[in-house]
Chains A and B, each alone.
Chain A
Amino acid sequence: MELSVNLTNSFQGIAVSPGIGIGRVMKLAGPGNVAPERLSIGDSGIEAELERLRCAITATADQLLSLQNELRRKLNNLDADIFEAHLMLVRDRTFVGEIEKRIKEEKCNAEYALYEALEHFQKVFATIRDEYLRERSLDLRDVGARLMENLTDVRDVMKGLDDSRVIVAASLTPSETARLDTSRVLGFVLETGSVTSHTAILARSLNLPAVVGVPGISLANLTGADKLIIDGFSGRVIVNPDSRTEEAYRLKARAADEFQARMKADNALPPETVDGFTVPLALNLDSACCDFSQLKGAGISGIGLVRTEFMFLNPHHHPTEEEQFEIYKKLLIDAGDLSVVIRTMDIGGDKVAAGITTLNEENPFLGLRGIRLALRERKDLFKAQLRALLRAGVYGNLHIMLPMVSSVTELWETREIIDELCCELQEQGLEHVRELPLGAMIETPGAALIAGELSRICDFFSIGTNDLVQYTRAIDRGNEHVSYLYHPAHPSVLQLIKKTVEGAKEGGIPVAVCGQMAADPALAVLLVGLGVNELSMVESAVPLVRRAIRSVSMYETVQAAEAALKCARAADVEEIVAGLLKTRFPEVAEL
């Protein structure tokens, strides 16, 4: 559906969660975000502002206490200690003193004084050379955000609203999103973020549209009086649309809803091509927590990727073997017969986890990341994780996957460690499995080129297309200047996928794709044509991909793949798959 839009009142971001949202703006301000308005209060207002600050501090401390208690219950005390530091910070002499000083000296409102004080301390933190300690500014920022929220009290503002709103913010922390009344949220527009950021994941799970990467300058002037249309399919955000535009989008929203409902109804149908080939669909999980009761109807064959990095994000506590064992065990028991692929910690690159390594790498994407870090720098953590996995393997159908494999040595070394750990566990009389399928992520051109050799010493491949595209095309995913080159459908990438599939055949092992590419219906079809055996994706992508697979024949996908491999440009490949999809699956092409 083509909509003509007056471009002067619209801006373009990145669509990270599909859907259409139409409604007024609810702006969330936070430190480091849009600066709060500076109000002059005069001498007479000082005491009242100080009192507001004191109330907000008390309210924040109360919330932190109850959050701490709640987390203690949920996590068996693990991780709740961090709130102790936050509790101390919110009443900290130096911190509160700085805010009070600004209220008194600058005669300004408490929000502005808080904002200025936070800016001041951020600058101080920025000069700290020790990277880990420098990042402690995040603790202060989190406390500052809570305090700011209590000064402005978002929830009360939301309570007072008579309509649902589109949330607009520079960024949202997990604790901020957790406190929103999501039943009254129509969607999210954020200045920063990516497909994989927390808010994007949350929005997808709530079926709310989200657009990120919208320039701050566009957001700065919005107020609660402005109406927004956010298009989570195209990434377009329209401010104060005229009635014709709004009507057109309402139609599009309804069409999308109906379409989604029909897709969901397909869940019981097998992901089978029209000529009878089944392409198993699996899920990617960002944590080991998953509600399997909800998955029952989702028609999936297993969990194709469980990321474990989330456990290592708390700099104050890395999970012990025992804690991990309990988490994996629960996941495997819940999953029943479904196969579960757990990826060992993939830290490094853009996934920085404070306290894991003290290395200061100039080019972390080409540095010690994934399996390299595990083997070279933090063998202790790697061993604890493998021991936990070997023990948990007793409880289900577990596969272990290694991230960032680029040589056969890494697989040999890991196998050696696993053998050694099995002996240890045997001696300690701990129940464990001796043989677990061990897989390699194919994320670099180098790994794809030696796929034949790798396939003889591992049990499966999973292609991480996000990184494969980045390393093949030599572009930093986060660098906006080269983002125009980021095309998963580029022939160079397809050649490497083909090479991986051929290599896998030599060792007789299956190939899955667990990157973003598998979640795109058009590209998923192409992957099937290239010979990929399984597609793993976020839950929300399953219905569309299933429908795409059910609407084509294997023969067509192979033909499309062959034609695509002969192309020189990504645009030509896109044209081929779009053409196939348009004839077979017109609804998707429309969205």
Chain B
Amino acid sequence: MDSVGNVISTRVRVLTREGLHGRPASQIATMLSKRDATLTLVKTDDTQARADCSSVLDMLILAAGFDTELQIFAEGPDARVALDEVKDFFNNKFGEKES
């Protein structure tokens, strides 16, 4: 995990076939609503493509399909715990059973 000033960050990959779609995006936004932190997703191969994790629409427009690599930046009092939660969520394939 990197840390610049009070911004911390980590790198994740989209592991599900369907990509970061509506359900996982809304779960991420829901997780964050309980934390005092701002999280931003940035595509590592296109740093112009960013999404605020409190907005489902932002994350959908980011269009993070299968195997997309993303850098997550977190800021705020709960940054650490929120970042860990979201990172685990990515690594656990958004809790989805591959159907």
Contacts and interface: CB of A to CB of B under 8 A. Distances in A.
Interface of A: 81-82, 84-89, 92-95, 121, 124-125, 128-130, 132-134, 136, 139-140, 315-318, 320, 354-355, 358, 380-381
B22 A316 contact: yes
Given A82-B22, A136-B21, 8 more contacts: A81-B23, A84-B23, A84-B30, A88-B25, A88-B26, A95-B55, A121-B57, A125-B60
A283 to B, nearest CB: 30
B45 to A, nearest CB: 13
Contacts of B21: 132-133, 136, 315-316
A130 B65 contact: yes
Interface string B56-93: 11101101111000000000000000000000000000
Contacts of A317: 99
Contact of A94 (B18, B23, B57, B66): B57
B40 interface: no
Q: Is the interface of A mostly helix, strand, loop or mixed?
A: helix
B19 A94 contact: no
A82 B23 CA distance: 7
Contacts, number: 86
A132 B19 contact: yes
B24 to A, nearest CB: 9
Leading 7 A-B pairs by shortest Cβ distance:
A85-B22, A130-B65, A318-B99, A128-B63, A88-B26, A94-B55, A85-B26
Interface in B1-28: 17-23, 25-27
Interface residues of B, number: 25
A315 B61 CA distance: 17
B60 A130 contact: no
Contacts of A133: 19-21, 60, 63-65
B63 A134 contact: yes
B22 A139 contact: yes
Contacts of A92: 55-58
B57 to A, nearest CB: 4
A85 B22 CA distance: 5
A318 B97 CA distance: 10
Contacts of A93: 52, 54-55, 58
A400 to B, nearest CB: 21
Nearest to B58: A94
B37 interface: no
B52 to A, nearest CB: 7
